[in-house]
């Protein structure tokens, strides 16, 4: 008999627990086996809940990434538009207004991404405020740039929070898996003690660890769980 390890996928751990629990249920009059069924089912349920929560959190990262990419895109366009308006107010490129507001041009801002661009937008707002005496439209431009900057920062904060939540839930999942592995090993030891020197009965309650989970086999078009190797990394 083999015990699952940290490298055993969660899906396989759940299969192993389901197999053992069902086999234990075949002996309802055996109080020890009944208690072991409850024990393995509880550990598997905790692990399943932790894994499901982690997967939901991982999925939540994707829309947060989309929002950041979008805010970067619309902010870039608005920054370029502001420069164009400054140049129109000057009546030419490189005039006093554009030079004051964009001393290094807009490219130095829009090539940035994330927090660095947000900071550059803050600096741009400061220059727009300073330009109010020579460019009346700068007040409105500053307000619009600020709105984009706030939205951009909010998207970054949401992405950061989503990533942190996923990392926290992965840690919780890993802890639940450790507890499952401990419980599974304890159950195996208890079965061995209950049926000493009876290999047939000892092995009856535990499925093969070094095979693919039912889900993996189904995804690959297989009809069972025979013949696969244990994955190298946890899922």
pLDDT tens for residues 129-170?
999 999 999 999 999 999 999 999 999 999 999 999 999 999
Give the pLDDT confidence score for residue 32 in this predicted structure.
97
Which residues lie below 8 Å from residue 127, measured CB to CB, with a gap of 6+?
A: 100, 101, 102, 103
**Helix 138-194 crosses helix 115-130 at what angle (to 10 degrees)?**
160
pLDDT, average across residues 32-47 = 98
Pairwise CA distance, residues 30 & 163, whole Å: 47
| Residue 161 CB neighbours (<10 A) | 13
Distance CA 104, CA 122 (A): 15
Confirm if 186 and 193 have CB atoms less than 8 A apart. no
Alpha helix segments (H runs only) across 91-198: 96-101, 107-110, 115-130, 138-194
46, pLDDT greater than 80: yes
Which of the four pLDDT bands, split at 50, 70 and 90, describes residue 234? very low
pLDDT band at 235 (very low <50, low <70, confident <90, very high): very low
Lowest average pLDDT, out of 56-60, 87-91, 225-229, goes to 225-229
Question: What integer is the mean pLDDT of 231-235?
Answer: 41
Find the distance separating the first CA and the last CA of the chain, reported in whole Å. Answer: 23
Q: What is the pLDDT of residues 51-62, one digit of tens each?
A: 999 999 999 999
Measured distance CA(49)–CA(35) in Å, rounded? 21
Alpha-carbon span 147 to 233, nearest angstrom: 44
Q: What is the mean pLDDT of residues 9-25?
A: 97
State the average pLDDT over residues 114-125: 98
pTM attached to this predicted model: 0.82
CA 80 to chain centroid, in Å, comes to 34
pLDDT digits (tens, 9 = 90+) for 160-188: 999 999 999 999 999 999 999 999 999 99
């Amino acid at each position: 008999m083999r015990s699952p390890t940290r490298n055993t996928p969660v899906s396989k751990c759940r299969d192993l627990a389901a197999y053992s629990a069902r086999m234990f249920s075949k002996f309802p009059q055996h109080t020890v086996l009944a208690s072991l069924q409850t024990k393995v089912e509880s550990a598997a349920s905790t692990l399943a809940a932790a894994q499901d929560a982690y997967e939901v959190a991982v999925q939540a990262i994707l829309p947060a990434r989309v929002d950041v990419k979008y805010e970067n895109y619309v902010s870039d366009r608005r920054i370029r538009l502001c420069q164009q308006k400054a140049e129109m107010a000057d009546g030419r490129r490189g005039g006093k207004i554009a030079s004051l507001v964009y001393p290094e041009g807009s490219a130095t801002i829009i090539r940035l991404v994330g927090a660095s661009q947000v900071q550059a937008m803050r600096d741009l707002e400061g220059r727009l405020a300073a330009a109010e005496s020579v460019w009346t439209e700068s007040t409105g431009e500053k307000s619009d740039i600020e709105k984009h900057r706030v939205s951009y920062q909010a998207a970054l904060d949401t992405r950061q929070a989503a990533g942190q939540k996923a990392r926290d839930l992965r840690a919780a999942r890993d802890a639940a898996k450790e507890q499952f592995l401990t419980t599974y090993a304890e159950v195996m030891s208890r079965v061995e003690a209950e049926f000493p020197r009876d290999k047939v009965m000892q092995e009856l309650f535990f499925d093969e660890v070094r095979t693919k989970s039912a889900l993996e086999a189904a995804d690959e078009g297989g009809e069972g769980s025979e013949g696969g190797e244990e994955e190298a990394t946890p899922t």
